[in-house]
Amino acid sequence: MTVNGWSTEQIPDLSGRTFVVTGATAGLGLATTRALASRGAAVVMAVRDQAKGHQVAADIAAAQPGVDLEVRRIDLADLDSVRMFADGMHADHRRVDVLINNAGVMALPRTLSPQGHEMQFATNHLGHFALTGLLLDLLLAGRDPRVVTVTSVNHRQAKVRFADPTGERGYSPMGFYNTSKLANAIFGYQLHRRLSAAASPLRSFLAHPGYTATNLQSSGSTPIWRLLLGRIGNPLLAQPVDSGVWPQLFAATDPAAQPGQLVAPGGPAELRGHPAPGKLSATVTDPERGRRLWELSEQATGLRFESLRPAS
């Protein structure tokens, strides 16, 4: 993958294509939705707060008349909500061309999801794992179908907590956030491996935004992380959202994007800059850890990707 100064101006015409974007009302998800809609895509905004979603969609439409936006509710922390969203998509859509697994929460106090999973792992990873599996048939019917899973540069300092996945025996808000983003990376890479083995037309991509000034650092984290990341880090170090979103938009739309690769900011330490190949940790590409996380995710969600069987 070679990228030279890529930005949203290089997004091709997307007319006739359908994108699903999770977390579409703020930050990277909002910037993604705006950019895709401006190029003619039909965008399904998968959001937890439906009223806010409709207001955001109205604001986008006021600035860009004629955009094709649809607002649907999903709470990624609640697997029942994920299934309801998928059921609605099957009722109203014959295909999905691109799924962008973007939504996330950061550095929360220890909380459990409705199904009893640690909240950050449930929202950032398990919800997206389930959503991808439940929409798999719609994606397989898509044109140049892609799944883009958004991880973090922090995945390289994390470990998968197989022995204590809920943090019952020891919990760190940022540590479990990093674990959830490592899980995102492992999932995206393992999905690529399984799709390739099945000779599937669907392709899996990974992206991360570097250090980008979004509301993620301030909307739900603990007070100390709101201070360090939001009030101090964002003004001093973070890049604007409109450039932080470039890697995931490149992965979602550009013909040069390579499945299984990480698209990251090309500047020092992958913190800012135009899209470029990023570095995946050895944990991400390790087959055994990938297998264990996949099996854990299947057990936690009750979902198997039955159509992803190796080609004979």
Cα(71)–Cα(46) distance, integer angstroms: 6
Cα(51)–Cα(89) distance, integer angstroms: 19
Confirm whether pTM is higher than 0.75.
Answer: yes
Minimum mean pLDDT range among 15-24, 220-229, 243-252: 220-229
Judged on CB neighbours under 10 Å (0-12, 13-18, 19+), 140 is middle
Q: Give the pLDDT of residue 224.
A: 56
Q: Please report, for residues 41, 61, 136, the alpha-carbon distance to residue 94 in angstroms, rounded to integers and kept in the order given.
A: 16, 24, 12
177 carries an active-site annotation:
yes
Of the pLDDT bands very low, low, confident and very high (cuts 50, 70, 90), residue 308 is confident
77 three-class SS: coil
pLDDT more than 70, % of the chain? 90
Residue 254 phi/psi, 5-degree rounding, is -85, 135
Rounded to 10 deg, the angle between the 173-197 and 287-301 helix axes is 100
Helix-then-strand count for the chain, H and E = 14, 8
Q: Give the pLDDT of residue 233.
A: 46
Amino acid identity, position 136 = L
Question: H-type helices in 148-230, by residue range?
Answer: 173-197, 216-219, 223-225
Cα(233)–Cα(252) distance, integer angstroms: 28
Cα(99)–Cα(204) distance, integer angstroms: 10
Q: Which of 171, 177, 189, 211 is catalytic?
A: 177
Q: Give the pLDDT of residue 230.
A: 46
Cα(125)–Cα(119) distance, integer angstroms: 10
For 69-117, how does the pLDDT look when each residue is reduced to its tens digit (9 = 90+)?
999 999 999 999 999 999 999 999 999 999 999 999 999 999 999 999 9
